Structure 1
């Protein structure tokens, strides 16, 4: 293949490599809830992206297959063409014929490697990490189509890979299960730092946050004896006094058997409300966590419940204390060891 013919082929191969790299990182970096909301509005691209996340292992294998094919194509097509293109200039500057071929090969390899790394790897990776949802929506449909077409090949490659792992005594994981979110985050943080998208301080902060996810909430629990409570029949004036005395705006409500019935906010007990209300009338549910719940799981539970506090219980005691969302988030973001 001559240099003129190989030039457009080279561009196509670089574009293909960039497509697979960007598609891979877009699916890993994209926030699933945003894509699900877009899919609920009828977006075909969003539905394809969500389906890709559901089959993340397959999609990543498809991306690796596409990247390998494009890289091999660059080696087969582009490097020889560059060598031929460099023969005449090297001869013109007096390079001996015996050295011209090695020099041309070295220069061609360097040029192709540079183009492959910059245009085919780093640029699309940076774009996908910086704009994950946008890139996922833009690439999801064609990437999903490629993965479906190559599914038989990927199945064979996956089977061979699993067989090799078993020979080495390693039990392969289920192919359809995506890697855990912390693994995905660690991968993204490392790549973002390597590409200069975040600085060292941000890298260390995010890394500590991921490490903290495995810690329990036991050291963040405020004991029950330090928690301000009011009885369910407490009048608004009593609620306001308890809030002023404790300095807390959220108070737990006890029922007639001294159990925690829920939570109230002191603003609901302000004088402008209707007369005759009691604490029981202002109570709303509060989630309960076990003592071995991790910090990350606790944050997720409170956010789903739209709650600022959670009760903490053990099998022996239904109320040993509370934990607040503010303390959990501070722990998660600061990652300070205890």
Structure 2
């Protein structure tokens, strides 16, 4: 009877082992940010769990001590007890060999059974449960784990001290657990979050723009010098009003007689001093000119935004080096910077882009069965097709810009689609082409899926809002299950055009998958 009691004790050790493994995998798998959120809402167990996650290495060491104790106890009590129960059974056999080695056979069977129970019930099953419901397990066992940690605190000090003495000759440095995520990891996490329907694809693309924010330079979004709406310092009042009526901006860079920028004038200054302007035969703009700060064209937008904030400005003159000489290359506004994050921002005086996806979609250059299974090869196929059809002439520039963007960050956004894009000098209007692959193309993707549809977007260099507008429209289409399926199943340019025509202006709401 005593053997059965020992078996019950062994089962207790097995359960103890399972619980420790359950908790170990749960606290490693659970999301720190989720526990932090629950803690801030006042959840007591979450506050304890947060403390555990902040000191994860120490708690894992205590758990390992518990697992080791449980495993040793299971082997020490369970195997001999089970063997002693089996031994009398084998002794009753008429075969002499079995009688002679009955204890050895019984012990071997007991070892196999106990080891199997240990691996399956004590390790694998709790591991799978912990991975599935890590948050619930973490919260449930947070307080018991903290109590166990306190009870084993001093034994663990001794164990850790001994371990450190053993590794000291190897001169290894112990480091705290890395809790932060790299930029690429954040992209993957956000992509998976969007795939699960927690955020929209449009919001995901906003995050993508945010990641690019620190790498995009001023010269990529500025208005080039030849397109600056400026006024002369000697401008008469009538011409000044006509320029304001035509351009409808609030700030205008001012040029001197020798064509140098000397500042800018704000439309408010004209409105506030309108009576003076109306009475004067000749206006003196110099009295109202404000300082126009200079900014380098190679500065990143992140640094440019900080520069704008620190100087409390909305507009800056962009300068760059051309043939070893510094010159004005463009103008940058705060709106240009913000639009790189949010997409286009148009006020009541600005007209929306005068194009639709149908109008910029190039049917002849789209490929509905790309041969390459590599992303760079697939992109090159599309560029070659554009060049063959004489849709583009500057093939090398387009290849360089798109490949550079792709090498910096994958343009795959999940849902089996990718959006390689670039702003091209001397391009008169936006171009959109489609590349499809039935097998799938290997792009690094947030949802780890192969890309089956590529939307290549080329826009004029001096019109950054066009690119953002196209990306915004396409993201809405891809966010819609019905539209996405119809595009992915399209086998001709006409089929893709039908999707654009039917849903571009009015996209019905669909549940996300």
The TM-score range, normalised by the shorter chain, is 0.5 to 0.7
Which residue number corresponds to residue 213 of structure 1? none
**1:17 and 2:77 correspond:** no
Q: 1:166 is matched with which residue: 165, 168, 174?
A: 168
User: Distance in 1 between the 2:71 and 2:128 partners?
Assistant: 19
CA distance in structure 1 between the aligned counterparts of 2:229 and 2:112, rounded to whole angstroms: 77
Q: Which of 196, 218, 227 lines up with 2:221 in the alignment?
A: 227
Distance in 1, matches of 2:223 and 2:126, equals 55
More strand per residue: 1 or 2? 2
Deviation of 1:90 (Å): 1.1
Q: Which residue of the other structure, out of 289, 299, 315, is the alignment partner of 1:255?
A: 315
CA contact (8 A) 2:11 2:74 kept: no
Does 1 or 2 have the higher relative contact order (CA < 8 Å, sep 6+)? 1
Distance 1:93 1:182 in 2: 64
Structure 2 match to 1:99 = 101
Q: State the 1:228 CA deviation.
A: 5.5
Question: Which structure dedicates a bigger proportion of its chain to helix?
Answer: 1
Does the 8 A contact of 2:29 with 2:134 survive in 1?
yes
What is the deviation of 1:7? 2.8
User: Against the structure 1 CA distance between its residues 223 and 61, is the aligned structure 2 distance closer, same or farther, given a 3 Å change threshold?
Assistant: same
Give the corresponding residue for 1:127.
Answer: 129
What's 1:269 paired with? 346
Q: Does 1:55 align with 2:55?
A: yes
For the structure 1 residues 17 and 182, does the alpha-carbon distance in structure 2 shift closer, same or farther, using more than 3 Å as the test? farther
Match of 1:269, SS state, is: coil
TM-score, normalised with respect to structure 2 = 0.41
Superposition pairs for residues 56-75 of structure 1, below 5 Å?
A: 56-75=56-75
The residue aligned with 1:114 is 116
Q: CA deviation at 1:169?
A: 3.0
Matched, 1:178 2:192: no
Aligned with 2:101: secondary structure?
A: helix
CA-CA distance at 1:26 after TM superposition: 0.8
Asked if the contact 1:83–1:101 (Cα under 8 Å) also holds between the matched residues in 2, the reply is: yes
Task: Kindly indicate whether the alpha-carbon contact (under 8 Å) linking 1:232 and 1:255 is maintained by their aligned counterparts in 2.
Answer: no
- Residues 229, 266 of structure 1: alpha-carbon distance in 2 compared, 3 angstrom cutoff: farther
User: For 1:180 and 1:232, how far apart are their aligned partners in 2?
Assistant: 49
Q: Deviations over 1:56-96 (max 9, x none)?
A: 11111011100000001011111111011101221223353
SS of 1:256's equivalent in the other structure is: strand
CA distance in structure 2 between the aligned counterparts of 1:31 and 1:238, rounded to whole angstroms: 50
TM-score (norm 1): 0.60
Distance 1:149 1:88, change over 3 A: same
Looking at CA atoms only, which structure, 1 or 2, has the larger radius of gyration? 2
Q: Which residue of 2 aligns with 1:285?
A: none
Deviations 1:176-227 (A, max 9, x none): x2245679xx9xxxxxxxxxxxxxxxxxxxxxxxxxxxxxx99x95554443
Distance 1:9 1:269, change over 3 A: same
Number of residue pairs matched by the alignment: 240
Alpha carbons 2:10, 2:74 under 8 Å: kept: yes
Shift of the 180–158 alpha-carbon distance from structure 1 to 2, 3 Å rule, reads same
Deviation at 1:33, TM superposition (A): 0.9
Change (3 A) 1:238 1:50: farther
Checking the alignment, whether the CA contact within 8 Å between 2:18 and 2:123 is kept in structure 1 is: yes
Partner of 2:85: 85
Change (3 A) 1:13 1:179: farther
* Equivalent residue number for residue 397 of structure 2: none
Q: Which runs of 4+ in 1 moved over 4 A?
A: 179-183, 220-224, 228-235, 265-268, 323-332
Checking the alignment, whether the CA contact within 8 Å between 1:62 and 1:147 is kept in structure 2 is yes
Q: Following TM superposition, by how much is the alpha carbon of 1:260 offset from its aligned partner in structure 2, in angstroms?
A: 5.5
CA-based RMSD: 4.0
- C-alpha distance 332-94 of structure 1, shift in aligned 2 (>3 A): same
**Structure 1 segments unaligned to the other structure (5+ residues):** 187-216, 240-251, 277-320
- For residues 75 and 94 of structure 1, the distance between their equivalents in structure 2, rounded to whole angstroms, comes to 30
Q: Distance in 2 between matches of 1:232 and 1:74?
A: 83
Contact 2:38–2:46 (8 Å) recurs in 1:
yes
Match of 1:245 in 2: none
CA gap of 1:232–1:18, structure 2 versus 1, over 3 A, is farther
SS across alignment from 2:172: coil
Measure, in 2, the Cα distance between the counterparts of 1:232 and 1:114. Answer: 79
How far does residue 106 in structure 1 lie from its aligned partner after superposition?
Answer: 0.4
